[in-house]
Amino acid sequence: MEIQALEHERRMKAARGDKEALEHAIAAAELYMKAASAAKTAEDRRRLGRKCKELIELGERLKARTKGTTADAAVRRPVPESTRPLTTAEKTIILKASRLHGHVFPPWDSAPGPETFSDAGDTPYTDPASFSLSAEQQAMVADWLRPTELMSAAGESDEVLDQLMTARAELDLAQDLATDCSVVASLCAAARHFGPNQDSLLAPLMYPYDHKAMRPQLSRSGKYVFRMYFNGSWRRVTIDDRLPASKTDRTLYVVDRRNPRLIWPALVEKAYLKIRGGYDFPGSNSGTDLHALTGWIPEQIFLQSDEIELDEIWNKIKKAYDERNAILTLGTGNILPEEEEALGLVKEHDYAVVDLKEEDGSHLLLIKNPWIDSLVWTGVGSSATLKAHTVGSTKDGASNQFWMVFEDVLQHFDSLYVNWNPALFSHRQDHHFRWEMPDKTEELVFTHNPQYSVLSPSGQPVWILLSRHWQDGELDILRQRRAEKEHAHDGGSRDSSLAIVSKQLGFTALAIYATSPPGTRVPLPDMSHRLHHHLLVDSPNILLRYQPTPGVAQTLVVKQSELPLPSYTFTLSFFSHQPLTVAPAPPPLPHSLSVRGAWTRRTAGGSPAHPTYYTNPQYSLTLPQPSPVTLVLSTSTHDLPIHIALVFPPRTPSSSSSPSSPPSPQQRVTSLSGRDILAASPEYQHGGTAASAPRLDAGTYNVILSTFEPGQLGDYTLRVSAAVPPRLEPIPADAAGMLRTPVPAGPQHTPCPIIIASSTIRFLAPVTLVRQTRLSAIATTSPSSTPGPGVVATPPSIRLSLSLGRPGPHATILTTAPRSGDFADLTGTPNTDTGTLFKGVPPAVGLRTGEVDVHPDTARRAAGLWVVLEVRGGYSGDGGGSVGPEGVVVEVLSDGVVTVGGWEVAEGD
């Protein structure tokens, strides 16, 4: 014990501040007190007592100097815990998340009593759980041995047993055969918080713990209990003290090179690896590991981002590190093999930051490679001007530590992981939820995303931590991908961090939106209303910091991409300085329904610039009462440009049917003008889009879903929301179940009139019915409408109708296209319109009349049923050929057999 006290005195003198010196002074005083009590001679008792008194007096002076300082206050503030009552669903989530890798890790209820660790005699506790090993590890394992068996050569005296839990010198942890660089880097970075002091993070982490000696205590039963935070709760992790002994001098667990008999780091490592799947753990990141070990808030700072501000980040982390409010680790990216050797850095590897300082105007980090035989930074290409002994030099002879200037860190490392002391905040609120992954067609919209309304009374910072719960399926994916990686091994590093395989686990992100009404659900990503966001990342933990708008509810959206499993559970933790009001965000409109469909080769008609636009999927939307309406369209083909148009339905004249005919079903829109469009989404957007109308009268409307180009295929989901229950029904595809009968040309060698640009000519074609028939007419451009030699092309305008009786004062026009009665040119634009149907998109080529029901007797009494095509302008020439409109094809669509005669020419205007 005296030797340990001397070591604390040495560390006290080398301490970087009064706070750290005080911790070592207290530890040394307590050890001298114990040593004095156990001394065998009076002289030793007096000598040790004097040392104890001197250190107590020194400690009082140090305490007086540190009392009330910011660092002391920050460390000793209470850690906030969520006191929000959980719903039954949330309690179920937490309980189900207790099962992992065949084990049960129940939520933490209370610390285990001393009887849990009392002497078990000849039957020490044995954990029934088995720990998986990689093939390389299995080849190296001799047996699983208890600490006394591992240290048998040193005997089992009290002094030897005490060394199992007491560090005689500063920790120097290292990793060998285990593939858990992130775990060992985490332990190295947190070592100063695991020291023998009142604020040690080991005290609430590991049981049994000697609070007087301020260190872990040896369990006589061989059982150890750990309190770790994962899957939304502090949980109980129980292990025995057996460790995998190696056949060689290499180790399968973390070792302390300065304290070779110290085993508590290996026990912490074993407990953590139990919840992560075993010693063949495919890897993680140190921010995630430290979150589980300490509960401190993890943040990943991407050092290669263009938004990085060097001085801002340095000042932030330096202040927090000095105040013991931050634990720092680093991760490299995919460094080329030749760069690894030249730089002394390992690709896709995690490092610990064990000190920060400013020297000669430079910002320096002391970085530790957790490998036992590690590469260290060579200083090649360093951007700093430093003393020769500074860059790459080690501390206290540690061969795996090196100083590096912050500019070089930004250049050679991908990520800085910061774990923040949650005691920086006074309030915490946890919410737990299950997320069933949406259909692929709804991945790019927010119709199924978890969303929360967040209301802060002030503008003070709020931190939101999203934590994805671990589950067995993820470990299976990691192991499979790692096996594939090793099978195609390219000579890279021996260790695999999560960076190699984590992208197989998908990505998540958080975003804050301003909504109307405030705090309601967001239908899809909208840059104009997004206030704060975090990029999609492959880590299970995401931290979003933001400044709220005081007194105004804002909407938090959880986003995902490529999450491979069908369902997940998550926890959202809100950290703040004042109480927040957080609840699931309500929808702005209470009633919703959705339908799924697809653009196929027959229905992918393209934009209004194409004659096939009206073949796109159409739906009838019925509202029983006036209501606002929102429509959200999304597709599984993420790069597919899509559009929604909400339009008036076609009119069906009541005179077209016999009195006994059934009511007409909803008809497809076959022509449009600007006045028909009630609402439309922005011009063709990729993957997802939305349209809304602030108020629609009760009634039925048509919805047209289109892609930009004909033939662009993909599945889609359409979701409609309203203030009243809407009804949405598909309208059968164009001519679905109907016969198509083209209008033939007139008799050969009948002179075709010359159409002058300012004149109008009327073409007529008789239609003969056998029985009552529903029919319409459609006009499109001819596949080959190029005029012959000597013919001058002038774009014609047309009007298409179905008429009872030959056109004249006694005829009845049943239906007309365009519906307005105006002429439309061959691009479909009514000549009274100056714009286009959709902003920046030319209109369609082709017209279609509405559907009408006509009985043969009705047609006979009216002197026949006629297709009427009126053409204004067009091709001028010398006539000749068959009678018919040049460049236009007209067909009759009917649900029964009809006969259509050839074109006749009627009088023109």
- The per-residue DSSP string of 412-425 comes to H-SEEEEEE-GGG-
Stretch 202-228: mean pLDDT, rounded? 93
Give the pLDDT band of residue 416 (cuts 50, 70, 90). Answer: very high
- Quick one: pLDDT at residue 382? 62
Please state which of the ranges 254-263, 318-327, 407-416, 428-437 shows the lowest mean pLDDT: 254-263
Rounded distance, CA 233 to CA 230, Å? 6
If asked whether residues 326 and 277 sit together in one domain, one would say: no
* Residue 494 vs residue 531, higher pLDDT: 531
- 899 in any annotated domain: yes
Rounded distance, CA 874 to CA 760, Å? 9
If asked whether residues 487 and 372 sit together in one domain, one would say: no
Stretch 833-839: mean pLDDT, rounded? 40
Stretch 844-867: mean pLDDT, rounded? 85
- Quick one: pLDDT at residue 500? 47
- Of 396, 780, 737, the C-alpha closest to 610 is 780
CATH number for the domain harbouring residue 720: 2.60.120.380
Stretch 166-180: mean pLDDT, rounded? 82
- Local structure of residue 391 (DSSP, 8 states): B
Q: Name beta bridge partners: 841.
A: 838
Tens of pLDDT, residues 646-682:
999 876 544 343 333 333 457 788 777 778 899 999 9
* Residue 673 vs residue 333, higher pLDDT: 333
Percent of the chain clearing pLDDT 90 (strictly above): 52
Q: Which helix (H) or strand (E) holds 270?
A: helix 264-276
- Quick one: pLDDT at residue 837? 42
For the cut 50, the answer to whether the pLDDT of residue 789 exceeds it is no
State the catalytic residues: 181, 349, 369
* Residue 436 vs residue 502, higher pLDDT: 436
For the cut 60, the answer to whether the pLDDT of residue 216 exceeds it is yes
- Of 750, 784, 755, the C-alpha closest to 889 is 784
- Quick one: pLDDT at residue 485? 64
* Residue 37 vs residue 575, higher pLDDT: 575
- Quick one: pLDDT at residue 643? 96
If asked whether residues 580 and 709 sit together in one domain, one would say: no
If asked whether residues 624 and 701 sit together in one domain, one would say: yes
CA angle 655, 661, 665 (to 5 degrees): 90
- Quick one: pLDDT at residue 391? 47
For the cut 80, the answer to whether the pLDDT of residue 232 exceeds it is yes
CA angle 330, 332, 336 (to 5 degrees): 160
Query: pTM for the full model?
Result: 0.78
- 234 in any annotated domain: yes
φ, ψ of residue 626 to 5 degrees: the values are: -60, 145
- Of 801, 830, 798, the C-alpha closest to 815 is 801
Stretch 182-206: mean pLDDT, rounded? 92
- Do 4 and 195 form a contact (C-beta atoms < 8 A)? no
- Quick one: pLDDT at residue 493? 45
SS3 710: coil
Please state which of the ranges 261-275, 437-451, 704-718, 783-797 shows the lowest mean pLDDT: 783-797
56 CB burial (10 A radius; 0-12, 13-18, 19+): middle
How many beta carbons lie within 10 A of that of residue 499, not counting itself? 22
If asked whether residues 721 and 621 sit together in one domain, one would say: yes
If asked whether residues 103 and 249 sit together in one domain, one would say: yes
- 611 in any annotated domain: yes
Tens of pLDDT, residues 738-778:
788 999 887 654 445 444 455 788 999 999 999 999 898 88
Written in H, E and C, the secondary structure of 753-820 is CCCCCCCEEEEEEEEEECCCEEEEEEEEECCCCCCCCCCEECCCEEEEEEEECCCCCCCEEEEEECCC
Rounded distance, CA 742 to CA 744, Å? 6
If asked whether residues 895 and 808 sit together in one domain, one would say: yes
For the cut 80, the answer to whether the pLDDT of residue 311 exceeds it is yes
- 93 in any annotated domain: no
Rounded distance, CA 613 to CA 605, Å? 5
* Residue 898 vs residue 307, higher pLDDT: 898
Region of 492 on the Ramachandran plot (φ > 0 left; ψ -120 to 50 alpha; else beta)? beta
For the cut 50, the answer to whether the pLDDT of residue 316 exceeds it is yes
**What is the domain extent for residue 375?**
298-420
For the cut 60, the answer to whether the pLDDT of residue 446 exceeds it is yes
Q: Name beta bridge partners: 544.
A: 464
**Helix and strand counts by DSSP (H, E) for the chain:** 17, 50
* Distance linking the first and last C-alpha atoms of the chain: 117
φ, ψ of residue 593 to 5 degrees: the values are: -150, 160
Rounded distance, CA 333 to CA 415, Å? 8
Q: Which of 537, 565, 584 is the last residue of a domain?
A: 584
Tokens of 643: 């559009």
- Of 737, 750, 706, 749, the C-alpha closest to 841 is 706
φ, ψ of residue 762 to 5 degrees: the values are: -115, 125
If asked whether residues 628 and 705 sit together in one domain, one would say: yes
- 796 in any annotated domain: yes
Please state which of the ranges 206-220, 486-500, 778-792, 829-843 shows the lowest mean pLDDT: 829-843
- Quick one: pLDDT at residue 160? 66
- 687 in any annotated domain: yes
Please state which of the ranges 18-27, 155-164, 452-461, 774-783 shows the lowest mean pLDDT: 155-164
Please state which of the ranges 115-119, 202-206, 329-333, 712-716 shows the lowest mean pLDDT: 115-119
- Local structure of residue 838 (DSSP, 8 states): B
Rounded distance, CA 139 to CA 120, Å? 32
- Quick one: pLDDT at residue 489? 52
Rounded distance, CA 680 to CA 628, Å? 14
Rounded distance, CA 812 to CA 34, Å? 114
- Quick one: pLDDT at residue 758? 56
- Quick one: pLDDT at residue 334? 87
Region of 614 on the Ramachandran plot (φ > 0 left; ψ -120 to 50 alpha; else beta)? alpha
- Do 772 and 854 form a contact (C-beta atoms < 8 A)? yes
Average pLDDT, the chain: 84
Tokens 């009872």, residue located: 804
- Quick one: pLDDT at residue 186? 95
- Quick one: pLDDT at residue 498? 44
SS3 573: strand
- 83 in any annotated domain: no
If asked whether residues 435 and 491 sit together in one domain, one would say: yes
Rounded distance, CA 288 to CA 297, Å? 9
For the cut 90, the answer to whether the pLDDT of residue 792 exceeds it is no
Tens of pLDDT, residues 104-143:
999 999 999 988 998 777 789 999 998 988 888 888 888 9
- CA-to-CA dists, residue 35 to 21, 47, 83, 195, 636, angstroms: 21, 10, 44, 20, 72
- 779 in any annotated domain: yes
Q: Which of 232, 258, 285 is the last residue of a domain?
A: 285
Rounded distance, CA 818 to CA 833, Å? 12
Torsion of CA 167, 169, 175, 181, to 10 degrees: 90
Give the pLDDT band of residue 451 (cuts 50, 70, 90). Answer: very high
**Percent of residues in the chain assigned helix, strand, coil, to nearest 5:** 25, 30, 45
Amino acid of residue 852: V
Please state which of the ranges 353-367, 485-499, 592-606, 630-644 shows the lowest mean pLDDT: 485-499
If asked whether residues 713 and 759 sit together in one domain, one would say: no
φ, ψ of residue 809 to 5 degrees: the values are: -65, -20
- Quick one: pLDDT at residue 836? 42
SS3 226: strand
Please state which of the ranges 170-179, 586-595, 763-772, 895-904 shows the lowest mean pLDDT: 170-179
If asked whether residues 727 and 746 sit together in one domain, one would say: no
If asked whether residues 219 and 240 sit together in one domain, one would say: yes
φ, ψ of residue 615 to 5 degrees: the values are: -85, -5
What domain count does the chain have?
Answer: 6
DSSP string, 339-357: HHHHHT--TT-EEEEEEEE
- Quick one: pLDDT at residue 854? 93
For the cut 90, the answer to whether the pLDDT of residue 313 exceeds it is yes
- Quick one: pLDDT at residue 720? 98
Q: Which of 557, 584, 611 is the last residue of a domain?
A: 584
Tens of pLDDT, residues 387-405:
433 444 444 555 689 999 9
